[in-house]
Structure 1
Amino acid sequence: MAVIETYVFVHLAEGPVPAGILTMTDEQRTQFSTFAYGRRYLERPDRIPVDPVALPLTGGSADQTFRTEEGFAVFGGIRDAAPDGWGQYLMYKAMGDRTPTEADLILASGDYRVGALAFGPTPAQPKRITPWGEGDAPGEHFNLAELAEAAERAQKVDLLDENLRKLLTAGSSLGGARPKAATEIDGQPWIAKFQAQKDTFPECRVELATMRLAKDCGLDVPALGFENILGRDIYMIERFDRSMNKQHRTPFASGLTMLAAHESEVSQYNYRDLAAVLRQHGTMVKTDLNELFKRLVFNILVTNDDDHLRNHGFLYDGDGWRLSPLYDVVPKPQIGFERRLVLGVGPQGRDATLVNAIAGAPDFDLSLEEAEAVTAELAGTVANGWEKAFREASINAADIARFATCFREAQAS
């Protein structure tokens, strides 16, 4: 049995503050964690929950120890701060023949992790603990060309060499499946996403075009950027959990965490559940419910079937939780006419139709007439604008024709 203990820090106005102690236990047949807030942290007027659902501050005391539910190795709010997909891929290659544990993923995630949490072996300050024997690299900055080249090479080797450590520092902290790394533009933190070896279409350009289209539809979209360096496409999105003052970090929680959901159960949830989260924890409920409905409709209109709970985020605004800006929206060409989203849409379950979405309008505090008007406006913008957005992203005619199947619902409206 392996037991690993770490302090959990929360970045507040003054910097990282120890919030409590996390203990991760890995037994032969089960994994679980416990967490206890520190007394001093609970006495702070500016305290923020490490996990707003599983580790609430209300009624908590320093004598209370929380334990994960059965089947959960770690609390959702803490798991959000660890890498998945690409970050795990880099760690696997860095560690050679040893598979990283859940504890490895959390403790080795660096300063670029999403949200406001940090970890360390003592309450003095956060410290990255890496199983490959090399810690963080503070002060290192790499240009996009170096990162793009490293991301490409990392997909072709079995073990990361010293020249690829820069990518491990910049990219292993981040979530999501695609190759990516943290970078800066004029002092502001951004995320750069790169081509993947297995890409069958120019995914960086398609995501750029789709996110621009979402902005044209009035959705809350961060600043976007694009570069092509030495023939490599790089799509960039401004971080919404950081500011130019790098000490300021906004707490983040995924939809998975806010619903206390397990990864294996994602398809059992629906947009109505996310709406309920906003009603319970939100500070601008009406505004965010309207935004959530628009995102649901937009996902249908562009055939984005990667709308799982990790691709819905929430940010803490000092009083409660707001829907985060939009991210990770990419159409997927399909042959058939029937489409489904990952999450439930309306009374007809996961069927990705506008009729199904409109029927669920009351879940978003909308009348059927209001929902129909919103849907018609979005459908018109998408139908009339998607080809222009794709051309402006320099997507070739063959790929534009291929993606036309994604916009059938919009064009039929």
Structure 2
Amino acid sequence: MAVNKTDIYVYADWVGLSHPTLVGVLSAHQAKGRKAFSFEYDKQWLKTNAQRLIDPDIQFYSGQQFPNNKENFGVFLDSMPDTWGRTLMKRREGQLAKANGTKGKTLYDIHFLLGVYDETRMGAFRFKLDPDGDFLDNDTEKSTPPWSTVRELQQAVVHYENDEENETINKWLKLLIAPGSSLGGARPKANILDENKDLWIAKFPSKNDTIDKASWEFLTYRLALNAGVEMAECRLEKVNGQYHTFFY
């Protein structure tokens, strides 16, 4: 059976490192009817003081390691989008195939992992297909929009959720895929930049909401502050419609 193998170079880029440092290679193995991942540490990384246990299934030794009774390692699943981001990516693939008159391809973990814009990727790992190439995804059309676009982004969510087969859906997808594909969870959300170029997440109301969920999240935030919990700043704004948008 022929097996397709793609090597993804994994770099650590966390506080304490002077520059992105190669940790190892995540290999995606795909054959008809099955897919699997393996990981192999870079030998130089194993000699550094920066090494740490990144996943229960990846121990401190050289050679290929495989996840225990699952297709992929949890640490790399955490670098991929969850329900909202995956839904956007799948929908975009379907729309592109429809526009080109072709059959849409099935998206696998490797597509979700490498389809996230590097600037807004969650976590401290970054990925390349070529050690001499750029960190992925490097598509500048996916760059993070400014705070001033929040109203337009929220309106895009409304159109996206309501216009299932509208011919203008590509417009709304393009607007949402850039800032939203990296994010987890099921609720519609997007990355945005404030006036100081700091990164925030805007969590929007959904058409299925029956209560103002953002207000409850903000209340929880204030209760945590009053209890002495150290929290990142959060904001609550009524951008458009009946319910608030939560920023964190």
TM-score range, shorter chain: 0.7 to 0.9
Give matches, 1:177-188, under 5 Å: 177-185=186-194, 186-188=196-198
What does residue 153 of structure 1 align with?
A: 159
Q: Which residue of 2 aligns with 1:82?
A: 80
- Please tell me the residue identity of whatever aligns with 1:92: K
For the 8 Å contact 1:86–1:179, the answer to whether it is kept is: yes
Paired AA for residue 110 in structure 2:
A
Which residue identity does 1:178 align to in structure 2? R
Q: Which whole-Å deviations, capped at 9, do the CAs of 1:312-340 have from their partners, x for residues lacking one?
A: xxxxxxxxxxxxxxxxxxxxxxxxxxxxx
Task: Specify the SS of the correspondent of 1:155.
Answer: helix
Q: 1 CA distance for matches of 2:229 and 2:105?
A: 43
Q: State the alpha-carbon separation in 1 of the partners of residues 212 and 174 from structure 2.
A: 27
- Asked if 1:209 corresponds to 2:212, the answer is no
Question: Given the alignment, which residue of 226, 234, 247 partners 2:245?
Answer: 234
Aligned mates of 2:133, 2:21 — CA distance in 1? 8
State yes or no: 1:68 paired with 2:67.
yes
Are the counterparts in 2 of residues 92 and 98 from structure 1 also a CA contact under 8 Å? no
Following superposition, the deviation at residue 44 of structure 1 comes to 3.0
Aligned 8 A contact 1:174 1:180 in 2:
yes
Partner of 2:132: 124
Matched residues in 2 for 1:114 and 1:46: separation? 20
For residue 29 of structure 1, report the CA deviation from its aligned partner. Answer: 4.6
Question: Which has more helix, going by share of residues?
Answer: 1
Out of 88, 91, 103, the position equivalent to 2:89 is 91
1:5 paired residue number? 7
Say which SS state the counterpart of residue 137 (structure 1) adopts.
helix
2:112 to 90, 93, 105: 105
Give 5+ residue unaligned stretches, structure 2: 95-103
Match of 1:258? none
Would the alpha carbon gap of residues 158 and 44 (structure 1) be closer, same or farther in structure 2, given more than 3 Å must change? farther
Residues 11-410 of structure 1 aligned to structure 2 (within 5 Å): 11-12=13-14, 13-49=17-53, 51-57=54-60, 60-61=61-62, 64-70=63-69, 72-96=70-94, 97-111=104-118, 112-128=120-136, 135-137=139-141, 140-142=144-146, 143-158=149-164, 160-185=169-194, 186-231=196-241, 233-237=244-248
Match of 1:334 in 2: none
- 1:136 is displaced (CA, Å) by 4.2
SS in 2 for 1:222: coil
Per the TM alignment, residue 125 of structure 1 is displaced from its structure 2 partner at its CA by: 4.5
Higher relative contact order (CA 8 A, sep 6+): 2
Deviation of 1:66 after TM superposition, in Å, equals 0.7
Aligned identity (percent) is 26
Q: Is the 8 A contact 2:142 2:177 kept in 1?
A: no
Task: Give yes or no for contact 1:180–1:193 (8 Å, CA) kept in 2.
Answer: yes
Q: Matched residue of 1:164: which SS?
A: helix
**Please, what TM-score do these two structures have when normalized by structure 1?**
0.50
CA apart distance, 1:177:
1.2
Q: Distance in 1 between matches of 2:24 and 2:197?
A: 32
Query: Shift in Å at residue 176 of structure 1?
Result: 1.1
Structure of greater Rg: 1
**Superposed displacement of residue 205, structure 1:** 1.5
C-alpha offsets along residues 101-141 of structure 1, whole Å, 9 cap, x if unaligned?
11111111222121111111111244335xxxx93436552
Q: CA deviation at 1:155?
A: 1.9
Structure 1 residue 100: deviation in Å?
1.6
Structure-2 separation of matches of 1:136 and 1:69:
37
Q: Structure 1: which 5+ runs fail to align?
A: 238-413
Cα deviation 1:252-284 (Å, max 9, x = unaligned)? xxxxxxxxxxxxxxxxxxxxxxxxxxxxxxxxx
Provide TM-score, normalisation by structure 2: 0.80
Taking a change above 3 Å as real, the CA distance of residues 204 and 16 of structure 1, as seen in their structure-2 partners, is same
Residues 153 and 176 of structure 2 are in contact (CA less than 8 Å); yes or no, is this contact kept in structure 1? yes
Separation in 1, partners of 2:37, 2:27? 5
